[in-house]
Amino acid sequence: MNISNIAGTIRKRALMVKLFFIIFFTVGLCGIMVPSTRSVFLHLTPLALLLSITGLAIFHTPGQNRRTLIVFVSIFFASWLVEAAGVNGGFIFGSYTYGQGLGIKIFGTPLIIGINWVLLLYCTFVITDRIRIPVILKIVTSSLLMVIYDIIMEQTAPWLDMWRFDEVIVPVRNYISWFIIAFFFHATIRLSGIKIKNELAVTIFSVQLIFFIVLTAFFKITG
């Protein structure tokens, strides 16, 4: 099999997996919107994150794998520690508590939240890496994409029993902290010198963002 055939096969497989995730999140969206099935689908959030990170891992372009693994495993633990400090201290993001929607918790912090940080950092890195701008602007743009994602996700988090802030309105410092932490992690990834290419990254990020946008509109309308 020549190189062009191999590339064609990879593109076909990537298209099939993209369609799978589009269908998967669409079904999840419908399941959450229907009151009789909502409780069942709410418990599938950890599965959705695990499937997404698995899909990214499968289509990760080989190269510098050991360094890439070290960087993202370190980010997983570091981001979980930041979240644990935040939820227990209330001085990073504000005063909030995690619900049951994200699965197993240690010190009141779901283990899966570290996966969420890794997934978002990975996807936004790939998205901005395609843009021909200075590295510092790539870091800023990636971090802003994550803040935009968080602003939208925060609207549905209480409904999905992921987390809930004590204040009625999510505090501004939550978003400021998100940007600073995302900036630090993205700068770390860039400084590590690793290269990332992935056929699924844009689709995974886009599908999840649309998922939360639609849910936000749904919950705002239905109350």
Return phi, psi of residue 198, to 5°: -155, 125
Residue appearing with tokens 């069942």: 40
Distance CA 149, CA 206 (A): 10
Residue type, 78: A
What pLDDT digit, counting tens, does each position of 25-64 carry? Answer: 999 999 999 999 998 998 899 999 999 999 999 988 876 6
| Average pLDDT over the chain, rounded to an integer | 91
Query: Which residues make Cβ contacts (< 8 Å) with residue 123, sequence separation at least 6?
Result: 56, 201, 202, 204, 205
Phi and psi torsions of 105, nearest 5°: -120, 145
Can you read off the two tokens belonging to residue 182? 């995302």
**C-alpha span between 220 and 223 (Å, rounded):** 5
Q: In sequence order, what are the beta bridge partners of 97?
A: 164
Apex CA 129: angle with CA 123 and CA 133, to 5°?
140
What the block records as the tokens of 203 is 């689709």
Model pLDDT for residues 112-170, shown as the tens digit of each residue: 999 999 999 999 999 999 899 999 999 999 999 999 999 999 999 999 999 999 988 99
Q: Are 153 and 210 in contact (CB under 8 A)?
A: no
For the cut 80, the answer to whether the pLDDT of residue 3 exceeds it is no
